Amino acid sequence: MIEGILVDHAAAEKMLKCTRQHRPLEAGGLVLGLRKGLYLHVTEITRPLPWDRQSSTRFQRSPKGHRIAALRRWRKSGGKMDWIGEWHSHPGFSLSPSSIDIRNWYDIVRQRKAEMIFPICDGRETTFYLQCWGDRGKVLLRQVEKDALGTFYLTPAAIKRQLRETGNEAYGLTVELP
């Protein structure tokens, strides 16, 4: 079970920028990073490629170029960097996933057999969803901390547990990445 994610500033910034550049069309790509025990660390995203299909209400990623980009980074990282999610934009509309999004996420996670994150960006902010594996549940991650490294998000369950463990005190600094 994944309890939280750390998102590097550069990756978050790239998603925002890319969403604005492609507006009014939807944009998207892969989310790449590291699996560190209970946490996912987002270090990279891929941008739309010419083979992708983009409309104002839909982004359909082609497997082609993104896979090459992912493989290249995987090799460069010595096999550590992993495909940990997919992002797309909702330029100018709700940050909630559509029914198509939810179905796609579930299918991806079922194939991958691991929990993955699915950011949606509207050009101003990004919402992070964690799609569980083994059931249809999806979890909206909450931002808990922002520092020089990046922004840290936790699942509501992890936040609750930490509050309990710390006697309802501030939980920000108790979080450590392995």
Phi, psi of 70 (to 5 degrees): -65, -45
Active-site amino acid positions = 26
Q: How far is the CB of 166 from Zn ion (least distance, A)?
A: 36
Residue with Cβ nearer Zn ion (77 or 98)? 98
Stretch that binds Zn ion, among 5-13, 16-24, 91-99, 134-142 (CB under 5 A): 91-99
SS3 state at 144: strand
Among the residue ranges 28-36, 63-71, 93-101, 163-171, the one whose residues contact Zn ion (CB under 5 A):
93-101
Residue 85: strand pairing partners: 31, 117
Q: Which residue minimizes CB distance to Zn ion?
A: 101
Q: How many CB atoms lie within 10 A of CB 52?
A: 20
Q: Which residues contact 39 (CB under 8 A, 6 or more apart)?
A: 2, 3, 4, 5, 6, 177, 178
Residue 101 binds Zn ion (CB under 5 A): yes
For Zn ion, the closer CB: 4 or 119:
119
CA 164, CA 168: separation in Å to the nearest integer?
6
Q: Which of residues 29-58 bind Zn ion (CB under 5 A)?
A: none
Instruction: Give 56 or 174: the residue with its C-beta nearer to Zn ion.
Output: 56
Q: Which residues bind Zn ion (CB under 5 A)?
A: 98, 101
